[in-house]
Amino acid sequence: MGDVTKEQLLDFYKTMLTIRKFEDKAAELFAAGRLPGFVHLYSGEEAVAAGVCASLTNKDYITSTHRGHGHLIAKGGQVDKMMAELFAKVTGYCKGRGGSMHIADVELGILGANGIVGAGQPIAVGAAFANQYLKNDAVSVCFFGDAASNRGTFHEALNLASVWKLPVIFVCENNRFGISMNQKDHMNIVDVSQRAISYGIPGVTIDGNDVAAVYETAKDAISRARKGEGPSLIECKTWRHYGHFQGDAGLYKDAQEQEEWLKKDPILKLEEKLKVLKFAKDTELKEIQQQIQGQIDAAVEFAESSPEPSPEDVLADVYAP
């Protein structure tokens, strides 16, 4: 576990639980027909976002994916403004115009979730170039899935980042599926981290459901990037509990594999660790759970009571070249 302290583990727990309860509520609301658009849920992958973002500040940038709620919460996003965005209300992060897949907050260094697979990689490289040019000691982190490493954008991004030694960390959340296709059917390697070899940068594969391992690995890569030593590729093996999107039954998943991965739930693993180390008792964890559930319920009330966008504003904030 390295040098991870009790306070850090409890902070990880709160972040991961906030993500899980946000996603559980989003799933419930979407199934009830109360959210417009689509939602792609992050449940099961919480340890990755929490472990990586713990070493970032507001001056550091992240690029996210279509499954971006967890990244936003871990980077400091407010759950009430996120929920309002899912409800398409004017109090949302994008005034209700972006929805689940386009939430951004530049002040927090969140350059946006993104509905296009592999689109965040060149954006993260661009942000890293700006940081290097400005000499501001900031880094950028690019979250992406295993299938996105098959895109040309991935290879172009790693190549340029390597050549220019840019301060960027590529974090592959390998949940084993590109939409409904198993990883073994869309690439001829087991570990995405092997692709780092082609670009002469460090690449490592870790347990993405172990938040302490994610934190320690990301911390080293971020420190390396801040010191001007260039990019890294971290592959986090994990599992998404839901289908590709809420409503996808995930029938393409092997039932036994799904059951085995659910036993490795990152939040349950962390709860067990906290209790074994005597860092928290069941009653204390229960209090945290109730507190966070209250925050999520308040976020829903905020979103539901917020005004709808005005038809008169339909062309406001819209850019067309």
Are the beta carbons of 309 and 317 closer than 8 angstroms?
Answer: no
Pairing of strands 140-145, 168-174: parallel
* Alpha helices for 170-230 (secondary structure H): 183-186, 211-226
Are the beta carbons of 23 and 69 closer than 8 angstroms?
Answer: yes
pLDDT value for 299: 98
d(CA 77, CA 221): 23
Burial 154-177 (b: 16+ CB within 10 A, else e): bbebbebbbeeebbbbbbbbbbbb
Measured at the CA of 251, the angle between CA 248 and CA 254, to 5 degrees, comes to 135
Determine which helix (DSSP H) or strand (DSSP E) holds 3, and give its type and residue range. Answer: none
pLDDT in tens, 180-225: 999 999 999 999 999 999 999 999 999 999 999 999 999 999 999 9
d(CA 99, CA 40): 11
Q: Which of 66, 7, 41, 51 shows the shortest CA–CA distance to 169?
A: 51
pLDDT value for 318: 81
Other beta carbons within 10 Å of 267 = 20
pLDDT value for 309: 93
Residue showing tokens 């198993």: 182
Name the 3-class secondary structure at 289.
helix
| Residue 265, C-beta contacts closer than 8 angstroms, at least 6 positions apart | 44, 209, 241
State mean pLDDT over 103-113. 95
Asked whether the predicted pLDDT for residue 320 surpasses 80, the reply is no
Asked whether the predicted pLDDT for residue 3 surpasses 90, the reply is no
Asked whether the predicted pLDDT for residue 156 surpasses 90, the reply is yes
Token pair of 2 as six digits: 């390295």
d(CA 58, CA 177): 31
pLDDT in tens, 233-249: 999 999 999 999 998 99
pLDDT value for 2: 65
Residue 142 DSSP code: E
Residue 307 DSSP code: P
pLDDT in tens, 24-36: 999 999 999 999 9
Whether domain 6-305 has CATH 3.40.50.970: the reply is yes
Q: Which of 92, 45, 80, 81 shows the shortest CA–CA distance to 66?
A: 45
